[in-house]
Structure 1
Amino acid sequence: MSSLRISGIASGLDTQSIIQSLMKVERAKVDRYGQNKQLKLWKQETYNSVNKDFANFVLDIRKELEMTKTSITGGLMSNSSSNFSYVKKVTSSNESAVSVSALASATPGSYTLEVKNLATGVSAASSSAVDNITLGELFVDANGDETYDWSGNGGVYTVEINGKELQFDKGAKVSDVVKKINSEVDGVNASYDATAKRVFISTVKTGSEAKIKIDENAEALFNGLKLTFSGESTADGGSIEYSGINAKINFNGAEDIEYSSNNFTINGIQIELKAKTESPVTINVNTDVDGVYDKIKTFVDKYNELIAKLNSMVREKPNRDYKPLTAEQKESMSDDEIKKWEEKAKAGMLYNDSTIQNTLATMRLGLYSEVEGAGKYNQLTLIGINTGTYDTKGKLIIDEEKLKKAIADDPESVMNLFFQEPTATEGDAKKKESGLINRLFDDIVDGMKELINKSGTGGNEDLYRNVKSNILVDFVLGKATGTGSLSYLDKDILDIEKSIYNEESRLVRIENAYWTKFTAMEKALQQMNSQSSWISQQLGSL
């Protein structure tokens, strides 16, 4: 930039305005670059929005159809279709004694069940009040004499519970003893209720494997705490072992079946035992036609919503008359005007988009193809699900009567049609054996990968990994773009930004050149004016 700019002093011209007008023409190329960059950014946002729709569709369907369940750590894990709870319905003739639910694997029929024993663990409770005193106070007789040789045992009282050695000093209170048992002995819960002044101990589990084994010192301690134990007991040298009791049932003619818990599954029927029974309980299992139908309808409805939205996006034509606004154009518009303009300018971002169209076509083809090994109903049309007219663009239409009839006739085949797991591990063989929903999810994941290569992750990495844990591996490694974690649109945007930078640098040079020329002109005019003034003065003096 010139160190001295002279603006129209001699010429009377508005040099600033003239140069701004000249530069406005020159800046047209930068504006075009900026508009192109904005279009790329909008397209990237739109692709990311579509990928979020894909991901949420997969996750919603998995949850709705019980294809995933929450693990104990809060994560998602797959759930076999044999464990679905909506395929079979089951009733108990005595819910107060036997509560039931059915997995998809439950065989329809009528069953009888007798409860001979409930499963119990080992438990103990103080038979009368126990103050929160120290062990030094606990181990004294009626005369106040110590019943334990503290000095001879190093000032500690040592007990062994379930193989765990615990030590207490003379000043340890009852609540301290309970707290240590609870925190250090596996499989045992212990508590002290200060209001009731009672100690409570129990095993975490039930059944014959639930045990509390104590040595002589622990027995003396527990006697001092007035604990009375339930369960079976056996002497083992100087120790006593208390054991829980298994649940025992007769089921459909099979006698004395034992379980360690009152909650178990037999023949696909989930049982909860609540009480012993005096007479057999009747359990009836049937296919839940309405339950299965409702789940399939939910899938179809959500699929149709997704298809309708994507079809609308690829069919929406762009507004050629509405280009992205330049910074100069925005200066003369209100926020509301800018918002309305950009809504029109963003239209048609995915018009005739090949990636979306190819993904939709693959999804439709997968749903309409038969599932090898599914059984009698190996194709959607056989259970009353068809495509509509051309205008519906791949939406699914349900014939309710025909679908319910198929579910009642062969529920296993219908479930296989949607959820069958393939024996093949890759390629066409895997796809042909995959249930329609699993097949659809695989096609969606492939489409998502294509969009990720085009537009990146948009900050949705965790969402995408919930769909498939390794979905981002190829993108991170740069197998498609050649540059790890950089999408095609990211590369395009970087190239445009480089062009803008270079063009801005060129404009600075051009503007400086204009100022140099106009400044030189002003200086020349000043010199001419000075000479003219001098000549006039000389002529005036003659």
Structure 2
Amino acid sequence: MSDLSLGGLATGMDTQSIINQLVQLEQRPIYNYQQEISELEKTKDAWRDINSRLDKLENKTTDLKLSATYNSKNANSSNEDVVVATASNSSIEANYDITVRSTAKAQRIFGSKLADNYTASVDDTITINGTNIAISSSDTLNDISNKINDSEAGVKASIVDNRLVLEASKTGVDNALKDTTDTGGPTISDNNGILEDLGVLNASGEIVNEPQQASDAEIEINGISGIISSNNEFSDSVEGLTFNIDPEAVVDSNATISVVKDTDKATKAVQAFVDQYNSVMSFIDTKNSYDSGTKESGILQGDGTAMRLQMRLREVVNSKIKDTGDYQTLNSIGIEIDRDGVMSLDSTKLTEALENTPEEVTNLFQAESDVNGYDGMAVKMDSSLDQILQSNTGLIPRRMDFFDARIDTLNEDIENIQRRVDMTRERYVEQFSAMEEAISEMQSQQSWMMSQLSSMGGSSVTGMM
């Protein structure tokens, strides 16, 4: 009977509409729960965004804890066509006069001009720097060049004007190819004379054409001579400095490298922190706002957790960091917060502080109580953010877990109510179906009785006539 629905055939009533209206009353809690879930999802999205912004703020805070942020050095060259340099944090602020005595070059040799249709006359093996390269009697000059390059034997092969050109892959005397005249034996040879055929070696195994000999780079630093490198880079001459000579530098040309403190790196790191701090606070303000004109409020309006979070962050950046010295607060080095809570940086003031007392300014950010007797702002902020963001135990993860648990509970409640609603609907369908059947049966009986009465009345009239 539960599947039977006469749909008002007997009564003329829209029983399906009546049932829907009756059931809708029992479904009202579901609509309320769905609305609450929707609000919870929006709140979760807001907290998820806050979490992402705070995570970025933590990264910016970490940069402020690093000594490398404040100890960075720049190496400036008076003539970059002669020499440039890079300085590590360990380098000393000083000037270095560089004079170039020679630049490092790679050896280059070439062979004889050959016919356009040249092919090797015999099978042979070329040995370069201990690497064997098999040559076939049918190989063209291009084939030979490709085989040398594919072998990675420490030379680069090319063809110019039908001549085989070989150039050492690395600069410096130690990387040059040696022939039979060199001490220690040749590093380029063959078995059956292919290199003589190509005009690279003569019959005695000597290099024929060497337009560019290998050379080491040599420089003087502050009058100290004899400083040599097989390439144009000098990384071991001065602690924390690497000099790079221009390969085209003129012999006896000179330049001065000046190593100075790089305050720009620290300034950029602080500005990045300021920008991200404002991003966090501005977003929370937006979600916690109320528009009296439109009567609309942000999704976190009145959220105590959001307000406490802002208070904690403001307290870290506004509080006094230490009790002595010229710089005791962030404000003293150019980091200010206006009445609207917006942070700004006076980069000129920060730069001056870094140049005057770099260690004191650095400690304002990265000092630790067990070493310095107080915690710097970055250390405090990192600790606070860790308590906010840490998985499972952090403020925001716990908040997200609460939302998830509440949503799960609401969904379970919805399922339970929906089951009851379905059972109620089935009961109404059965009841209305039973009513329709009863009325239909009554109507059928009434129709039969009227038919009988009508039949009886007709017979009496006929008999009287």
Correspondent of 2:411 among 483, 497, 500: 497
Asked if the contact 2:50/2:280 (under 8 Å) is kept, the reply is no
Residues 362-373 of structure 1: pairs in structure 2 closer than 5 A: 365=316, 370=321
C-alpha separation in 1, matches of 2:364 and 2:189: 63
Correspondent of 1:250 among 206, 216, 220: 220
**Aligned residue in 1 for 2:209:** none
1:271 aligns with 2:243: yes
C-alpha separation in 1, matches of 2:288 and 2:18: 46
Residues 394-473 of structure 1: pairs in structure 2 closer than 5 A: 395-411=342-358, 413-415=360-362, 417-418=364-365, 440=381, 444=385, 447-450=388-391
Gap change, CA 1:119 and 1:219, over 3 Å in 2: farther
SS of 1:30 mapped into structure 2: helix
C-alpha separation in 2, matches of 1:226 and 1:513: 106
C-alpha separation in 2, matches of 1:82 and 1:405: 13
Please give the per-residue CA displacement for 1:227-285, whole angstroms capped at 9, x wherever unaligned.
59xxxxxx9xxxxxx99543222212433223343234545455321224436433334
1:190 aligns with 2:156: yes
C-alpha separation in 2, matches of 1:295 and 1:18: 70
1:206 aligns with 2:120: no
**Aligned residue in 1 for 2:38:** 38
Deviates more, 1:432-441 or 1:38-47: 432-441
SS of 1:216 mapped into structure 2: strand
**Aligned residue in 1 for 2:183:** none
Deviation at 1:311, TM superposition (A): 3.3
Correspondent of 2:281 among 273, 293, 308: 308
Correspondent of 2:436 among 522, 530, 537: 522
Gap change, CA 1:520 and 1:417, over 3 Å in 2: same
Correspondent of 2:335 among 374, 380, 385: 385
**Largest Rg, 1 or 2:** 2
Gap change, CA 1:61 and 1:385, over 3 Å in 2: closer
Correspondent of 1:509 among 406, 423, 443: 423
Asked if the contact 2:124/2:192 (under 8 Å) is kept, the reply is no
**Aligned residue in 2 for 1:24:** 24
**Aligned residue in 2 for 1:8:** 8
How many residues are aligned here? Answer: 434
Deviation at 1:217, TM superposition (A): 0.8
Letter in 2 for 1:348: I
SS of 2:231 mapped into structure 1: coil
Letter in 2 for 1:124: R
Residues 125-204 of structure 1: pairs in structure 2 closer than 5 A: 125-126=109-110, 129-130=113-114, 137-139=119-121, 150=122, 156-185=123-152, 188-193=154-159, 196-204=161-169
SS of 2:171 mapped into structure 1: coil
- TM-score w.r.t. length of structure 1: 0.64
Of structures 1 and 2, the one scoring higher in RCO (CA 8 A, sep 6+) is 2
Letter in 2 for 1:183: D
**Aligned residue in 1 for 2:462:** none
Deviation at 1:514, TM superposition (A): 0.7
Deviation at 1:24, TM superposition (A): 1.4
C-alpha separation in 1, matches of 2:27 and 2:274: 51
Asked if the contact 2:75/2:257 (under 8 Å) is kept, the reply is no
Letter in 1 for 2:151: E
SS of 2:243 mapped into structure 1: strand
1:119 aligns with 2:104: yes
C-alpha separation in 2, matches of 1:197 and 1:111: 47
Please give the per-residue CA displacement for 1:303-342, whole angstroms capped at 9, x wherever unaligned.
34323324314523599x99xxxxxxxxxxxxxxxxxxxx
C-alpha separation in 2, matches of 1:361 and 1:371: 18
SS of 2:156 mapped into structure 1: strand
Correspondent of 2:93 among 77, 83, 108: 108
Please give the per-residue CA displacement for 1:395-425, whole angstroms capped at 9, x wherever unaligned.
43434553232122134554565578x8xxx
C-alpha separation in 2, matches of 1:403 and 1:519: 85
C-alpha separation in 2, matches of 1:66 and 1:115: 40
Deviation at 1:6, TM superposition (A): 0.9
Structure 1 gaps, min length 5: 68-77, 140-149, 151-155, 229-234, 236-241, 323-343, 423-427, 457-479
Deviation at 1:115, TM superposition (A): 1.4
SS of 1:282 mapped into structure 2: strand
Gap change, CA 1:113 and 1:192, over 3 Å in 2: closer
C-alpha separation in 2, matches of 1:138 and 1:47: 75
SS of 2:355 mapped into structure 1: helix
Letter in 2 for 1:271: F
Give the superposed CA RMSD. Answer: 4.7
Gap change, CA 1:201 and 1:55, over 3 Å in 2: farther
SS of 1:16 mapped into structure 2: helix
Deviation at 1:517, TM superposition (A): 0.5
- Aligned identity (percent) is 22
C-alpha separation in 2, matches of 1:525 and 1:174: 108
Deviation at 1:33, TM superposition (A): 2.6
Asked if the contact 2:172/2:216 (under 8 Å) is kept, the reply is yes
1:352 aligns with 2:319: no
1:532 aligns with 2:446: yes
Structure 2 gaps, min length 5: 179-186, 207-211, 458-465
Residues 464-483 of structure 1: pairs in structure 2 closer than 5 A: none
Please give the per-residue CA displacement for 1:285-305, whole angstroms capped at 9, x wherever unaligned.
44455x357525632541343
Residues 58-77 of structure 1: pairs in structure 2 closer than 5 A: none
Deviation at 1:452, TM superposition (A): 11
Asked if the contact 2:69/2:265 (under 8 Å) is kept, the reply is no
SS of 1:114 mapped into structure 2: strand
C-alpha separation in 2, matches of 1:378 and 1:277: 54
SS of 1:12 mapped into structure 2: coil
C-alpha separation in 2, matches of 1:196 and 1:352: 81
Asked if the contact 2:387/2:394 (under 8 Å) is kept, the reply is no
Deviates more, 1:171-180 or 1:408-417: 408-417
Gap change, CA 1:21 and 1:217, over 3 Å in 2: same
- TM-score w.r.t. length of structure 2: 0.73
Please give the per-residue CA displacement for 1:488-529, whole angstroms capped at 9, x wherever unaligned.
645544444343333333322211111111111111111222
Deviation at 1:18, TM superposition (A): 0.8
C-alpha separation in 1, matches of 2:226 and 2:373: 45
Letter in 2 for 1:20: N
